[in-house]
């Protein structure tokens, strides 16, 4: 039968080959107009002009992948590397600073301090000193609470190099040290070429469908919106196409 209408339940969005489960998506196709003024006429003479294809996507935020794609095509994933076998703790009322055995990390990573050979029996502070992914000087104070052996704390910031760790007031039992390592699992981006991706929006109801395929798209703006407990974090992003002549197709069936 002829299709009466579609609703959102009929639609899916595919980004870079993978379906995004929760997303809103729109496409705008704009035809420009070439015009010329004419003597003795009330109107301009007009011809169809250039095609521009833009759109936007909004999805429930589960990670930073799409926002990262606006900034760089290749995010760097944190690397797990040993940076120092174990820092000697200064004890209550004292402080020290230690050079790292290995200062360079394969990619910007968070730092983990692990109680090794004993427990942390007196809390204190560690100051991580190094550089970020852009080569800027970076320091981060890290609270060291009471820790059982093999327990750890992890930095909030990512370091591309870690040159020193300063400890204050941290106390451990005899033979106990704080091992320093970078960890895998966190991704970061620096400013560069954006990711170019293929985007497909489609609605299906039996054999009736509308498919819009856009190849070689890239994001032109994005937002990260913080919300309260009654709001779901979302990615609102706008995109455009590199070459609509070659990369845009619209297919539809209304049987």
Q: Where in the chain is the domain with CATH 2.60.120?
A: 76-188
pLDDT tens-digit series, residues 21-79 = 788 889 999 999 999 999 999 999 999 999 999 999 888 888 888 888 998 888 878 89
Residues 96 and 167: beta-carbon distance below 8 Å: yes
Average of per-residue pLDDT across 229-235: 87
3-class secondary-structure state, position 71 = helix
Q: How many CA atoms lie within 13 A of 253 on its CB side?
A: 9
CATH match of 76-188 with 2.30.110: no
Query: How many H helices and E strands in the chain?
Result: 2, 20
Q: Quick one: pLDDT at residue 186?
A: 77
3-class secondary-structure state, position 244 = helix
Q: How many CB atoms lie within 10 A of CB 87?
A: 22
**8-31+49-73+191-253 CATH fold:** Pnp Oxidase; Chain A (2.30.110)
Q: Quick one: pLDDT at residue 1?
A: 62
Instruction: Flag whether pLDDT at 156 surpasses 80.
Output: yes
Concatenate the DSSP letters of all residues of 155-202 into one string.
-SS-EEEEEEEEEES-EE-TT-EEEEEEESS-EE--S-SPPPEEEEEE
> What's the helix, strand, coil split of the chain in %, to 5?
5, 60, 35
3-class secondary-structure state, position 217 = strand
Q: Where in the chain is the domain with CATH 2.30.110.20?
A: 8-31+49-73+191-253
What is the pTM assigned to this prediction?
A: 0.72
Q: How far apart are CA 77 and CA 188, in angstroms?
A: 7
- CB neighbours of 239 closer than 8 A, spacing ≥ 6? 54, 55, 56, 57, 199, 217, 218, 219, 220
Q: Quick one: pLDDT at residue 6?
A: 85
- CB neighbours of 9 closer than 8 A, spacing ≥ 6? none
- Looking only at the bridges linking them, the beta strands covering 76-77 and 187-188 are antiparallel
């Amino acid at each position: 039968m002829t299709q009466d209408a579609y609703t959102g339940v009929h639609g899916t969005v595919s980004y870079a080959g993978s379906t995004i489960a929760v997303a809103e998506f729109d496409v705008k196709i704009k035809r420009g107009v070439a015009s010329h003024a004419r003597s003795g006429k009330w109107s301009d003479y007009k011809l169809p002009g250039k095609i521009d294809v833009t759109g936007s996507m909004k999805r429930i935020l589960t990670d930073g992948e799409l926002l990262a794609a606006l900034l760089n095509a290749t995010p760097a994933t944190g690397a797990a590397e040993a940076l120092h076998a174990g820092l000697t703790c200064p004890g209550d009322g004292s402080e020290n600073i230690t050079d790292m055995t290995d200062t360079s990390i394969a990619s910007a990573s968070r730092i983990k301090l692990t109680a090794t050979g004993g427990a942390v029996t007196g809390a204190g502070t560690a100051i991580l000193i190094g550089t970020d992914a852009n080569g800027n000087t970076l320091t981060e104070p890290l609270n060291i609470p009471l820790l059982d052996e093999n327990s750890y704390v992890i930095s909030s910031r990512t370091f591309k190099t870690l040159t020193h760790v300063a400890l204050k007031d941290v106390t451990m039992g005899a033979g106990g040290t704080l091992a320093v390592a970078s960890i895998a699992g966190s991704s970061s981006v620096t400013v560069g070429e954006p990711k170019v991706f293929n985007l497909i929006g489609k609605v299906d109801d039996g054999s009736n469908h509308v498919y819009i395929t856009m190849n070689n798209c890239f994001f032109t703006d994005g937002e990260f919106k913080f919300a309260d407990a009654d709001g779901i974090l979302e990615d609102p992003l706008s995109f455009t196409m590199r070459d609509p002549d070659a990369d845009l197709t619209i297919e539809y069936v209304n049987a």
